[in-house]
Structure 1
Amino acid sequence: MIVPQIEPATINDFKALAPLIIEFEQFLKAEHGEKPMSPKEIQRSKRYLKKYLAYDTCLYLLWKQSEKILGYTFLSIDDKNHNLGFINELFVVTEKRQKGIAFKLMEQSLSWFKEKKCDKVQLTVNRENKVANKLYEKIGFRFHESDYIDMQIKV
């Protein structure tokens, strides 16, 4: 049996990671009732991925099994407040969900933030995403009232 492992992404993971990130972003667009990503948007996402892979204040943690990426988290540290971390994305391929992968990725993510001396970590999640909300609450995240509200307009 091949044991899965969690490791930081490098530029060598780009080709395998990019399709998962596109899948995640397509999911978010569908969740918000938006059109699928255009080829131009996909190229832009790939450019951002390459850029983020080089930043010290960003990290993609990968869950790999037999060199295949089955899940990832995208983490970053606030540019102005270096004590504040963000979990920007958490994604697990459909056939591997509900198997503890997301929980393990989150544990490793929080360890990275501790190493980087962050004392707070935040994330944004859709209120209707009950599975994700349950996971985040199990880990210790709590809903936080904010001075901000999300607004959008269809054009």
Structure 2
Amino acid sequence: MEICKAQLEHLDELAMLFDQYRVFYQQPSNVQAAKEFLRERLQQLDSVIFIAQHEGHAAGFTQLYPSFSSVSMQPIWILNDLFVASSYRRQGVATALMQRAIAFAKETNAIRLALATQVTNTSAQPLYESIGFSKDEDFYHYGLPL
């Protein structure tokens, strides 16, 4: 398995994975919209996407968005998306993607790698905890739907 930073040449396979990811979160399938969304992220350098490939096939991806800590005056990476195609699950793909994301955060001198997951996503939570992520007990996180 190879993990690389996604480029425009990966867009078609990445869009298919991204669409499956969105469907997992109860969104309607729309591969074309997924492709355009990802194209914008890649062209505008809004995010960093790592794609896992196995024998030339896209197996999974993770997408990181930049942020900053004002208090520490250092970068933070938000791991917003992690998805592994069903045929590649339980083969270490998610772990490898997470390890690459952690390495990237360290390479960019980030103070933290943050992520959030649904309370009901009990299949992902043990992975996060096994890597060293912990639930934040110091802050409440709020959201305002707009």
> Which TM-score band (shorter chain)?
0.7 to 0.9
Q: 1:116 to 1:57 in 2, by over 3 A?
A: farther
Displaced runs of 4 or more, over 4 A: 79-82
Partner of 1:66: 55
Quote the offset at 1:66 in angstroms.
2.1
1:70 match: secondary structure: strand
CA contact (8 A) 2:12 2:35 kept: no
> Does 2:5 align with 1:8?
yes
1:15-60: CA deviation from partner (whole Å, max 9, x where unpaired): 111011011011112xxxxxx4265xx5443222001112445211
**2:28 corresponds to which of 23, 34, 37:** 37
**1:19 corresponds to which of 16, 20, 28:** 16
Quote the offset at 1:151 in angstroms.
6.5
Work out the CA distance in 2 between the residues paired with 1:46 and 1:57: 15
**1:114 corresponds to which of 89, 106, 113:** 106
Partner of 1:32: none
Aligned length: 142
2:124 match: secondary structure: helix
* 1:138-153 matched pairs, under 5 angstroms: 138-145=130-137, 146-150=139-143
Quote the offset at 1:102 in angstroms.
0.5
Relative to its length, the structure with more strand (as a share) is 2
Work out the CA distance in 2 between the residues paired with 1:38 and 1:65: 24
Work out the CA distance in 1 between the residues paired with 2:119 and 2:140: 17
* CA RMSD in angstroms, aligned pairs only: 2.3
What residue ranges of structure 2 are gaps of 5+ in the alignment?
none
What residue ranges of structure 1 are gaps of 5+ in the alignment?
30-35
